Structure formats: structure tokens, C-alpha cells
Structure 1
Amino acid sequence: MAFTLRSVKVPPNSVNLEEARNRVFDFFRSACRSIPTIMEIYNLHDVVTVSQLRSTIASEIRKNAHVTNSKVIDLLLFKGMEELNNIAEHAKQRHHIIGQYVVGRQGLVQDLNTKDQAISDFLKNFYNSNYV
């Protein structure tokens, strides 16, 4: 059974911060419920566990914990639902999922420093400046 959000209509704006907060928890639960299906679709069992993906989802949500405007929270939820829908409908490829949610940006920057020791200092500084 594939997980899809296409049939879900965009809800109206949250009335207050508490309603927006509850919607965030509902989104987190639905995202966590879709993890086993996503792992099957993208064959991720060899690179990540369900709990690691759950932690990644939680950290992505916590990045915006400082937001207190309910309209902004609704917009972020819409973007999150769209991302989850794209992943569940296989609109992304496996390396996109691994790079974005398994390795993360910090891992890619660390790999850059150990990847090629023979490059010049100028190129190392140039590459590092593009990731900052």
C-alpha cells in the first residue's frame, strides 16, 4: 500500500498557534507512518534505519521551532507535506533521498575535505567558500 497525500485538501489557515502546533504533530505522525513504505520504495534498508529517518524528520521540524506566526507554520507544513508527497510518489531518486536525509549537508562538506588531498590550497578554499 503506497502512502499518498494527493487526496488531502489543503486545510484552511490555523486559527491560532495551538492549532498550528497540533497540525505539526499530526504531520510528524503521518511522516513517521510513511517511513517503512519509503524505505521499501527507495531500498534504504542497507544505508539507514527507521529510527534514524525518524530522527532526521524530527530535526528538520525542530529547525523551525522558533517560528511563532501561525501563517508561517502553515506554509512550512504545506512545504513539508509537498516534500513528503514527492518522496512517496517516487518523484525523487534514491541518491536524492540519501544525500538530503541520510548523509545531510554536513556529511557532504566533510567528504569534500577528505576526498582529494592533492588539490591546491586555492581550490580547497574555493570549494569551502561555496558551502558556507
Structure 2
Amino acid sequence: MVHMARNMRVPQNSASLAKAKKMTLEFFRMCCRSVPEYVEIYSLYDIVSPSKLCSAVTVEVRKNSNVTNPKVIDMLLFKGMEELTNCVDHSKQRHHLVGKYAIGNQGLEEELGHKDQGSSNFMKNFYSINYF
């Protein structure tokens, strides 16, 4: 599955919104098919299941579901392919994937909720702004 990420290329300009949406769907499917392999490569079984990681990918893709400009969609697909390629090439380390996809903002808020009970408001704001 990982080799598929290296072969897929985003077109420079999608001819239409339909073509851009089709490419987005293909990219999303490729990401979800690759998730079990990434969980194995980065030893994430102790932190997150493949299904939860697929859910995190779904959230990331749906963040931009309201975009209707094909050129902007192409740019977002390019950035997504870059992110996927960085994972394939091990340009990212395990903690990068854990922080962005496995734990995310919700996990950080839960973690901070337990650890910073005695912290000042300044430190709470600092953590909430600087971690994501």
C-alpha cells in the first residue's frame, strides 16, 4: 500500500469541481488503505487502533469539505500528498503522528485537564495555544 502513495500524483489543474472531488475521494481511500501499514511501521497499536486513525484522517479531509474552487482543492490535495509522502519516507517521527492524528486536540485537552489543575491561567492559555 505504501508504494501507491509514491505513484499517485495530483494534477496541476483539475478541469472541474467534479474531477477535483473525484481525486479527493481517491486520495482519501488511498490514505485509509495505508493506515494499517502505518500503524505497524510506527508501532502505534499501543496508542491508537487503525479504525480510530482512519477516523482522524476523515476529520482532516472533512475540514475542507466546503471548498468549491478546484484550484484550492488541488492545492489541498498536494499538501495532503506531501503529508502522506512524509509518513512513507519516515520524515515524520512517531511522536509527530501521535500528536497530530492519534491524540489530537481532544486528547491534549483531556491530558491538560488532569495535569494543570494547579497551573495558572497563563500556563493553561500557553499550552492551549502552542500545542495546536
Rounded Cα–Cα distance in structure 1 between residues aligned with 2:122 and 2:98:
30
1:39 aligns with 2:39: yes
1:130 aligns with 2:122: no
- TM-score scaled by structure 1? 0.86
Identity across matched positions, percent: 50
CA-based RMSD of the aligned residues comes to: 2.2
SS where residue 3 of structure 1 aligns?
helix
Rounded Cα–Cα distance in structure 2 between residues aligned with 1:55 and 1:123:
30
In the alignment, is the contact (CA less than 8 A) between 1:86 and 1:92 conserved in 2?
yes
Rounded Cα–Cα distance in structure 2 between residues aligned with 1:52 and 1:92:
19
Rounded Cα–Cα distance in structure 1 between residues aligned with 2:19 and 2:122:
51
Shift of 1:113: 3.0
In the alignment, is the contact (CA less than 8 A) between 1:4 and 1:89 conserved in 2?
no
| Structure 1 unaligned residues grouped into runs of 5+ | none
Alignment partner, residue 27 of structure 2: 27
- TM-score scaled by structure 2? 0.86
Rounded Cα–Cα distance in structure 1 between residues aligned with 2:113 and 2:126:
9
Instruction: Please identify the structure whose Cα radius of gyration is greater.
Output: 1
Say if 1:2 and 1:129 are closer, same or farther in 2 by CA, change over 3 A. Answer: closer
